[in-house]
Structure 1
Amino acid sequence: MTAAGLCRGLDTLFAVPPEHRLDDVDRVTARQVLGCDDHTLSELLGRGLPASGDAGEERFDSRDLFNLALYSGTGTTVPEQAFAYSLRWMRASTDELLAPRASRFALSVACAADACGPQPTSVLALPRPERCGGAVHDLTVEPAGGTVGPDDDTVTRTASQLAVTATVHTRGERAELRSPELRAIAAEFAAMDLRWVKLPEALSDDVELVTTRGVASCDSASRYLAGLCERAGFAAVTRIGWVVGMLDLVHAWVEVEDDDGATKVIDPVFALFSATVRDANPLLRDPAVALRTNRLIPTGLSTGGTVAAHRCAGGPTAARVTTKILPAPTRPQEGS
């Protein structure tokens, strides 16, 4: 079953283009990701799975392997099991998705080099849950001092590492899309039957892949949907942030002004994800409903923004980014 599913998945795989390939995974790790034996891996290579290197010593792009495994339909691969676990909250009731939630938030960035270069600068985005009816308490930045970016969206320090911690309060909101045009746009997007895939950073906001290849990242799906809204005459922006329970994923969604003057969240990728979850809350895919879950922690940044960055020795350098979002004791929000 695993071999058959992987072969079917290979037929629909969007392979990372050669100019963006990393080839960062060997055969042993590839078999672990795909949950297959060496014979099946060789069969996939014979059917066209991209790889480099000599026979028996091939190397693969980890994103190709992840995407292949995720849509193999076997239910046994590492990506499938990881997604099933991290998306189990989509089965929650509407009340659970809207209820106030408190989380202890910690984000850090550090130079990934063995020795940080001269003139180091580290930048982090700040959580901005107040944009969605939430609040931040006990915000701490280490090291202290430095500057905060425009509109308090980012914090910058002259340092090889930087950390932000806070208690973040979020709450969800269910709102009807009043505009028939917005409902039609949401329905049109849902009918495209796109696949979310891991993409190279250089392609993550490539809207053309949505229309020509049927694949999307959070960024490109949100950009595409926001573009549809704008062309229909609605004020719309993309937003990036974090999802409680999906720590390695910087998420993106759309904020659009409806006919009633209210700004509402349309989350195109949550709709795609929920289609893969058995017994998911149907509101996540309802084109007539703008559902903002209590798991969104927004920044003040749009798609294309960076939540963590480091520079030293006169240019951007590789960085180690760590994100932790854990349950915290609740306390009343200001103004609630």
Structure 2
Amino acid sequence: MADSIEFIPAQYSSKTQPESVAQEMLRCDSADIDTLVEAGLPHEDRSGVRHFDPNDLYNLGMYSNSSRTQPELAFRLLFRFAGRPVDDLLREKLWDFRVQLECTDCAGDAPWHLEEPNVARFGGRLAEVAAPTTGAGTAEYRAMVTTTGARTPVVSPELRRLTHEYLDAGYRWQMIPVPMQADYQLVHALGATSCIAASLFLAEQFRAAGYRAEAKRGWFCGVLGGALDLPHACVEVEDDDGSLKTVDIAKAQLAARLSPKTGEFQELCLGSIYNKVIPSTASGNAPFGYHECGSRLPIQVRADIQSVRS
């Protein structure tokens, strides 16, 4: 199992999960953890308890091929929609959008800022917005967000060539800390990829080919009962027809890994929009929000996005 992934380099690693969590995630016992540690799984001993980086644990589970680890089961549940007809992804969908902001080392009252949902340019709407202004410690942003989908495939032969060239490069998707994802050269040197790393690289390739392109962050929602609170990014590029297209490279990669029956969804990721993504105003490697109190620590941003049935 350990030789199937690249572990998070020490400068980006945060070993916060005790061995009990590792055993639960990987559906294994202490002897199995011993084997992984002997094979190179990084860890720290604190008060006699081994602690591990959650990204390493997730990636080990994801590529274990055991069909029973928590990451494998969650992945299959997360992407089961990708093997279905895509029509349901093109209709309007309403979301109860809530984001909790926490300044863990707060220095006092100050304005809050969140890179808000930015759905209007893709046919969506915002309503009942309640945004935080000034405060300390914690805050909440709330809104009712309507998303929609549309088939708008990339028409530029050059954009499609660059996109497929990346998809065919053989990079392995892994869970990677957000600061490390911005260092896409390091990520790719490990033979890995992620949504932010891929989007930053592909946006650069598009610009080098003469196109206006930018990696943008957002939220992927509507799974596991709410939002999967993972950093998500895609590329927004102005196509040959003058329209703004989104290239959701990571979702295309993950869907391809799941099943060959996801071809229709993979094609949707190459230019079209679909209703499970809420784009934001944040650029590809920028934080979702900040607090002006003067703290040097980044704020924690946790999304809770629930589908509202019509």
State the TM-score, normalized to the length of structure 1. Answer: 0.83
The runs of at least 4 aligned residues of structure 1 exceeding 6 Å deviation read none
Structure-to-structure mapping, 1:1-336, within 5 angstroms: 6=1, 10-53=2-45, 57-112=49-104, 116-142=106-132, 146=133, 157-245=134-222, 246-278=227-259, 280-286=261-267, 289-310=270-291, 312=293, 314-317=294-297, 319-330=299-310
Note the C-alpha offset of 1:188: 0.4
Deviates more, 1:292-301 or 1:316-325: 316-325
Identity %: 30
Deviates more, 1:249-258 or 1:194-203: 194-203
Deviates more, 1:161-170 or 1:193-202: 193-202
> Given that residues 126 and 145 in structure 2 are in contact (C-alpha distance below 8 angstroms), is that contact kept between their aligned partners in structure 1?
yes
Q: CA RMSD in A?
A: 2.3
> Given that residues 238 and 254 in structure 1 are in contact (C-alpha distance below 8 angstroms), is that contact kept between their aligned partners in structure 2?
yes
Note the C-alpha offset of 1:267: 0.7
Deviations 1:222-260 (A, max 9, x none): 011111111111111111111112431231001111111
Distance in 1, matches of 2:48 and 2:289, equals 38
Note the C-alpha offset of 1:327: 1.8
The structure-2 alpha-carbon separation of the partners of 1:184 and 1:112, relative to structure 1 and needing over 3 Å to count, comes to same
Q: 1:222 corresponds to which letter in structure 2?
A: S
Deviations 1:39-69 (A, max 9, x none): 1111122222222339974322221111111
Equivalent pairs counted in the alignment come to 306
Note the C-alpha offset of 1:120: 4.0
Q: Which runs of 5 or more residues in structure 1 are unaligned?
A: 1-5, 147-156, 331-336
> Given that residues 124 and 146 in structure 2 are in contact (C-alpha distance below 8 angstroms), is that contact kept between their aligned partners in structure 1?
yes
Q: 1:229 corresponds to which letter in structure 2?
A: F
Q: 2:131 corresponds to which letter in structure 1?
A: V
Distance in 2, matches of 1:122 and 1:60, equals 33
The structure-2 alpha-carbon separation of the partners of 1:248 and 1:92, relative to structure 1 and needing over 3 Å to count, comes to same
Distance in 1, matches of 2:99 and 2:147, equals 17
User: Is the partner of 2:236 in helix, strand or coil?
Assistant: strand
Distance in 2, matches of 1:176 and 1:234, equals 16
Distance in 1, matches of 2:298 and 2:238, equals 38
> Given that residues 177 and 288 in structure 1 are in contact (C-alpha distance below 8 angstroms), is that contact kept between their aligned partners in structure 2?
no
Deviations 1:64-99 (A, max 9, x none): 111111111112111111222222222231211111
The structure-2 alpha-carbon separation of the partners of 1:64 and 1:263, relative to structure 1 and needing over 3 Å to count, comes to same
> Given that residues 34 and 69 in structure 1 are in contact (C-alpha distance below 8 angstroms), is that contact kept between their aligned partners in structure 2?
yes
User: Is the partner of 2:303 in helix, strand or coil?
Assistant: strand
Distance in 1, matches of 2:204 and 2:104, equals 36
> Given that residues 111 and 310 in structure 1 are in contact (C-alpha distance below 8 angstroms), is that contact kept between their aligned partners in structure 2?
yes
Distance in 2, matches of 1:123 and 1:71, equals 37
Q: 2:74 corresponds to which letter in structure 1?
A: A
Q: Which runs of 5 or more residues in structure 2 are unaligned?
A: none
Note the C-alpha offset of 1:217: 2.1
Note the C-alpha offset of 1:269: 0.4
> Given that residues 174 and 289 in structure 1 are in contact (C-alpha distance below 8 angstroms), is that contact kept between their aligned partners in structure 2?
no
Deviations 1:76-129 (A, max 9, x none): 11111122222222223121111111111111213336xx53344432221111
Deviates more, 1:292-301 or 1:244-253: 244-253
Note the C-alpha offset of 1:28: 1.9
Distance in 2, matches of 1:300 and 1:117, equals 26
> Given that residues 86 and 265 in structure 2 are in contact (C-alpha distance below 8 angstroms), is that contact kept between their aligned partners in structure 1?
no
User: Is the partner of 2:152 in helix, strand or coil?
Assistant: strand
User: Is the partner of 2:179 in helix, strand or coil?
Assistant: helix
Distance in 2, matches of 1:263 and 1:311, equals 33
User: Is the partner of 2:64 in helix, strand or coil?
Assistant: coil
Q: 1:300 corresponds to which letter in structure 2?
A: T
Note the C-alpha offset of 1:264: 0.8
Note the C-alpha offset of 1:318: 5.7
